[in-house]
Amino acid sequence: MIALSAAVIAATLGSGALVGLLLAVFGGGGSVLAAPLLLYAVGVRDPHVAIGTSSAAVAANAAFNLFGHWRGGRVKWPCALTFAAAGLVGSFAGSTLAKSISGSSLLIAFAVAMAAIGLSMLRRPKSEGDPDVHITPRLMLRLTPLGLLTGFAAGFFGIGGGFLIVPGLMLATGMTIVNATASSLVSVAIFGAATSVNYAVSGLVDWRLAGLLLLGGMIGGVAGLLVSKKLGAHALVLRRAFAGLVILVAAYVAYRALSG
């Protein structure tokens, strides 16, 4: 395990704050930077430890943010739980497969996932949808396979998966993006917890760093809420700039993995 020097503590808190800020301002996509920050800013050497640790912090952060959406009545619980239950199986399968892959190969796959996330964020978000969605047997049949596949991807890449969960919920149920964003946190928390537990069984989670990431994320999240209120008409431009940053980081991660 990495020694907790003052520099490491500061870098981890700063990384968590940055991720929390980006999540609060842009929604999905911010947590994908957690593992690269642990690797290249904090100094974690094993990609598996970085992914396992970041998954634990992302799960806790999602659960923390879910509470506010729950109180606001924005979570469509029957749909969210159906999606998450199917994805729980997928996340265990995905994270188990990822543990068996070499660190460099896992980073290359992670870089591809990051690039896909960045490209998905370049699209203009849609706000249309049905705010009165209710679960039906037909919706359950549509939610289950999507949840299984999304959970597998989240577990394999060690990401929250919000960028996949939100459109998946909207596609399967027709709910609004507001409800989908709130409901997605149920899956992000469950997928992240399942992934981190799977990695922890193999000793691949640094709980000290996970706690520091979470603390920094809470601080960054509060700052992000204040920033998001002032973005106004510039929100879409800044979202696309952030998407470009994610793509650049993906290229850097791939370069480092390929160069050894």
Q: What is the DSSP string of 28-79?
A: TTGGGGHHHHIIIII----HHHHHHHHHHHHHHHHHHHHHHHHHTT---HHH
What's residue 91's pLDDT?
Answer: 94
Indicate the domain borders of the chain.
7-259
pLDDT value for 18: 87
175 beta partners: 130
CA 115 remoteness from chain centre: 14
Facing residues of 130 across strands?
175
What does the pLDDT read at residue 90? 93
> What is the C-alpha to C-alpha distance for residues 53 and 164, in angstroms, rounded to an integer?
21
> Which residue type does 86 have?
A
Q: Does residue 204 sit in helix, strand or coil?
A: coil
Amino acid letter, 114: M
Between CA 245 and CA 53 the distance in angstroms is: 22
Please give the pLDDT value at position 79: 93
**How far apart are alpha carbons 196 and 207 in whole angstroms?**
10
pLDDT block averages, 10 residues each, the chain of length 260? 92 91 67 88 94 91 82 90 93 93 87 80 64 83 90 83 77 83 88 93 96 91 74 67 81 86
Q: What is the rounded (10 degree) CA torsion for 258, 246, 32, 108?
A: -20
**Share in percent of the chain as helix, strand, coil (round to 5):** 80, 0, 20
User: What is the token pair recorded at 34?
Assistant: 């957690």
CB 102 within 8 A of CB 165: no
What predicted TM-score, i.e. pTM, was given to this entire model? 0.81
Q: Is 158 exposed, middle or buried (0-12, 13-18, 19+ CB in 10 A)?
A: buried
Q: What are phi and psi of 29, to 5 degrees?
A: 110, -30
